[in-house]
Chains A and B, each alone.
Chain A
């Protein structure tokens, strides 16, 4: 299923969790995706960990470090993507990583590998529109959506320009800052969603700082068509990783993730 099909078939708004591939193990990543999808996730943003994630806060930094220490790399992430397709998981998968990971393998070559693993698009936070020429061409050539960002400090002209060049959906960054669970709904993000809705038909998907179903409800009411939650998912399961990093109460972690996913999905559907 591609993003367009997903958005046209989803009831209410889509729940699109972000997870960090390989944290704390490859096996867990597969189980986590299955749990998320079984409980209502409509798409998965799959983080391929990078050593220097400048757009990410402490939670995703820690998850990336655990994954890298446990041997995760971009090739293994692609293997995991192939594996979950064999498990009959059909939701769109969106690899998220930093530009150097693609660039070092040859951008188009790497995108082709992602496409072969049935990715729907890519999310690359350190490539703004002005630098996106090569990446954007390579995405078009391989048939992947390149997800663009808008933020509460983007000017109207800039939002229009970004929306015109966007594919898949527009990623609405809810906070001025880096990723990480926050306690409240951001008024500036509500404003941004309302403004952007009047300028473009492309689905608006909100991320950064969302940790509760109530946050999702508020953004959806303002016009969001999708909700991304990342750090809060890591906060939930990392509680069950022992301090020395060796023990992991996996079953308990997955149970709590399942509960959280159901609640978020409910908020997204609008119940």
Chain B
């Protein structure tokens, strides 16, 4: 009964769960272990990714944006073009198929921005599973269109009124539900975080982003990119892109955290985060002097989370990935610039990655190449941005 070493990324990760959940996680680990090696299962996932979700996604050269900044060539990995509007569907399809194989009848999910909730509700409808999505009151208000979308798709949206009423609290409620329901329920966790095997499993389901991008850039430019940039909330879109390039030591990788308003933020790696234990994993987190989890702030609900996936903590420690942060205001400027130069409305989460690309591209030569993961589209954010900029105040 020794701890499997594969549950850790260096000293980060693990499986800090109540005893009641141990059999549920053994079952999940065994199922994932089995099906991740099963070529039939992989084919099935690929089929739905292609025929249903719309893969592969383009690697688009954002020429007008690049020229406007006047430096490196910026490519956008267009995960925003996927069905449901974000990379979240990659993982949701994989896990829902796994849940079916495990004989589960119901899925539960947490959601911040609502993109993972929508993806979960979508795959539940697709595969005939019952679906409950936990969402904090604050997030439900600032991402109202997604709440209605989930309901249209037949999911039951459970509004969470505890704690900061954001993503962290939605995860708490989903874990509590799972503790009582795992016999017939799969917890479809949406990011590369939480207890083992989620950080590994979610990364694997998202790794299609990096595999495609790597092949595409070799095809178009006949070489590897100089820099990869992705936003990091829990970190699933970033690890999905980065994982295919980890062995390419010359490729620089940058993860962008939410810098918030400069005072209140969600910068775990670049701010004052410490190593601790939350949501079943050991990783960096934002806490007060007594170990109580701090409330975070970001204009983007999907980055508003006090901890970060354990593999990112390891990559940070190894200095393999550089982590930076972008302020709310910088993300909003980037949001507008991409709208105006390319006719693409990005999600506020992805706008943080674009904001950093804007900062660095100008300092790089014109022969340099950046790939930005455009992890989601911004339709869900349009009303929120309008409110923030009209001075109506943020919904929180």
Task: List residues of A (140-179) whose CB comes within 8 Å of B's CBs.
Answer: 148-151, 153-155, 158, 161-162, 173, 175-178
With A68-B292, A103-B277, A104-B291 in contact, do A177 and B16 touch (Cβ < 8 Å)? no
The interface centre, meaning the residue of B163, B275, B291, B293 with most chain A CB atoms within 10 A of its CB, is: B291
Q: Which of A52, A73, A102, A133 contacts B278 (CB 8 A)?
A: A52
Q: Are A131 and B3 in contact (CB under 8 A)?
A: yes
A165 CB to closest chain B CB (Å) equals: 10
Q: Are B18 and A54 in contact (CB under 8 A)?
A: yes
Fill in one digit per residue for A38-65: 1 if any B CB lies within 8 Å of its CB, else 0: 0000000000001111110100010001
Binding site for A on B (CB under 8 A): 1-3, 14-20, 22-23, 162-163, 168-169, 172, 175-176, 179-180, 183, 274-280, 285, 287, 289-293
Complex Cα–Cα for A75 and B274 (A): 20
Complex Cα–Cα for A176 and B168 (A): 23
Q: Are A131 and B292 in contact (CB under 8 A)?
A: no
Complex Cα–Cα for A155 and B162 (A): 34
Complex Cα–Cα for A129 and B22 (A): 10
Q: Which of A51, A57, A125, A162 contacts B293 (CB 8 A)?
A: A51
The 3 closest A-B pairs by CB, nearest first: A104-B291, A177-B180, A149-B19
Q: Which of B23, B168, B276, B289 contacts A100 (CB 8 A)?
A: B276
**A74 located at the interface, meaning its Cβ lies under 8 Å from any Cβ of chain B in the complex:** yes
Q: Which of B16, B23, B163, B275 contacts A126 (CB 8 A)?
A: B16
User: A75 — nearest CB in chain B belongs to which residue?
Assistant: B290
Task: List residues of A (100-116) whose CB comes within 8 Å of B's CBs.
Answer: 100-105
User: A157 — nearest CB in chain B belongs to which residue?
Assistant: B1
A76 CB to closest chain B CB (Å) equals: 9
A70 CB to closest chain B CB (Å) equals: 13
Chain A-chain B contacts (Cβ-Cβ < 8 Å), number? 112
B280 CB to closest chain A CB (Å) equals: 7
**A80 located at the interface, meaning its Cβ lies under 8 Å from any Cβ of chain B in the complex:** no
Complex Cα–Cα for A50 and B276 (A): 13
Which residues of chain B are within 8 angstroms of A154 by Cβ–Cβ distance? 19, 22-23
User: A58 — nearest CB in chain B belongs to which residue?
Assistant: B162
With A55-B18, A128-B19, A154-B22 in contact, do A99 and B277 touch (Cβ < 8 Å)? yes
Which residues of chain B are within 8 angstroms of A161 by Cβ–Cβ distance? 1
Q: Are B290 and A104 in contact (CB under 8 A)?
A: yes
The interface centre, meaning the residue of B19, B285, B292 with most chain A CB atoms within 10 A of its CB, is: B19
Q: Which of A52, A99, A101, A175 contacts B290 (CB 8 A)?
A: A101
**A89 located at the interface, meaning its Cβ lies under 8 Å from any Cβ of chain B in the complex:** no
Q: Are A176 and B290 in contact (CB under 8 A)?
A: no
Which residues of chain B are within 8 angstroms of A176 by Cβ–Cβ distance? 20, 179-180, 183
Q: Which of B20, B168, B175 contacts A151 (CB 8 A)?
A: B20
Complex Cα–Cα for A52 and B175 (A): 11
Which residues of chain B are within 8 angstroms of A105 by Cβ–Cβ distance? 290-291
Q: Which of B15, B175, B275, B277 contacts A128 (CB 8 A)?
A: B15
User: B21 — nearest CB in chain A belongs to which residue?
Assistant: A128
Complex Cα–Cα for A55 and B285 (A): 20
B62 CB to closest chain A CB (Å) equals: 40
User: B294 — nearest CB in chain A belongs to which residue?
Assistant: A51
**A130 located at the interface, meaning its Cβ lies under 8 Å from any Cβ of chain B in the complex:** yes
Complex Cα–Cα for A75 and B288 (A): 13
Complex Cα–Cα for A134 and B162 (A): 31
Q: Which of A73, A126, A148 contacts B277 (CB 8 A)?
A: A126
